[in-house]
Amino acid sequence: MRTITSDRLVLRPWRDEDAGFLLDLESRWEVVRFLGPHPATMSTREDALASIARRRALDHPVHGIWAITTADGHPVGNLLLKPIPLSAGNPAGESPDDPADVEIGWHLHPDAWGHGYATEAADAVLRDAFDRGLTRVLAVTHPDNHASQAVCRRLGMTARGRTAKYYDTVFELFEAVRPDAAVVVRRYAPADREAALLLAPRLRIGVAPWRDGEAVGRAVAGWIESSLDKAAADGQDVFVAVAGDAVVGLVTVTERRHFAGEIDAYVGELVVRADHEHRGVGTLLMAEAEEWARQRGLRHLTLDTGAANHGARAFYARRGYQEEDVRLTKRIEC
């Protein structure tokens, strides 16, 4: 089972040496009272070791049951991502032995309550799961478990009301959908202009710190405006990523002659709204730009990005882009 990290936390496989902590955690009624349809406290170290063995037995490329620890290794709780058992009498065609739905759940030691650890750990696991291809995750919470429901809302999960579909009992259901699963990429339309311009400030990421910030801000806004103004011109295009009614990303592409004479496709701007980063939106937009180049018989797609924009450089490298030119700068004292 893989290890997942966030800013403050490490989610790792459970170990036998965690038995003492697990016993302390799950012997507390205030911790387990909302876990499943028939909650019960843990009473012996042997129970803890057996439970750890079951957690480790879930060996899957996406699903898992993790011990949550702080960055310095102090255990604080448990988080799971696994298929959710269906109730008896579930809708036809769904087998309780092979459920299609996946749930996320968590419980933390009372000493760790109030620090935002549950939200941070769940967010890290959701991001990882979505990156690995999962498109939908559920959370089922006891109707009285208002703390977990608040975590679901902080995670951006959608409340779906009460359901008896799972665990043969009634729960409050929450749903998280991978953003790019609901994202559509299409050509830019004039009605998108205002939302597209709001993305411009994100193009300042990675610009060298010795450049004037205000001037950079004006310049990137001008780039977007110019690209939008020319969107209908021959030899260039603008595509937007739309989630619902919201524009969450944009890519501009045009033809550009290389100094060796060949006409390349060139991405002038690729930008994704902050709350849709790491959700595959950039990948969808670049795929559209690459298809645009392919349809025109252009053999190369090129782009520029800031040397300090390490996230963007890693993203492009994963998509097979190679560094071709390097621009160097030296400050001259006058």
Q: For position 250, what pLDDT does the model report?
A: 96
* pLDDT single digits (tens) 294-316: 999 999 999 999 998 988 998 89
**Cross-strand bridge partners of residue 322:** none
Angle at 80 between CA 22 and CA 276, to 5 degrees: 135
Q: In this predicted structure, what is the pLDDT of residue 180?
A: 64
Contact 231, 237 (CB under 8 A): yes
Q: Domain residue spans in the chain?
A: 4-177, 181-318
Q: What confidence tens digit (pLDDT) does each residue in 61-84 have?
A: 999 999 999 999 999 999 999 998
Fold (topology level) of 181-318: Aminopeptidase (3.40.630)
Q: What is the pLDDT of residue 89?
A: 62
Residue ranges of the alpha helices (H) in the chain?
19-26, 29-32, 45-57, 117-131, 146-154, 193-197, 213-229, 281-295, 310-318
**pLDDT for residue 94:** 43
pLDDT over 80 at 193, yes or no: yes
Q: Is the pTM of this model over 0.95?
A: no
Strand 301-303 vs strand 263-272: parallel, antiparallel, or unpaired? parallel
Residue 282 has pLDDT above 50, yes or no: yes
Nearest to 121 by CA among 255, 247, 4: 4
Instruction: Read off the pLDDT of residues 159-181 as tens digits, 9 standing for 90 and up.
Output: 888 989 898 889 999 988 877 66
CA distance linking residue 334 with residue 313, whole number of Å: 33
CATH class of 4-177: alpha beta
Question: Per-residue pLDDT for 95 more than 60?
Answer: no
Whether the pLDDT of residue 16 is over 80: the answer is: yes
| Tokens encoding 290 | 């690459």
In the block, tokens 């679901």 appear at 152
How does the average pLDDT of the chain come out, rounded?
A: 91
The pLDDT of residue 245 is 75
Strands, E assignment, the chain: 4-5, 9-13, 64-70, 75-83, 102-108, 136-141, 158-163, 171-177, 183-187, 236-243, 246-257, 263-272, 301-303
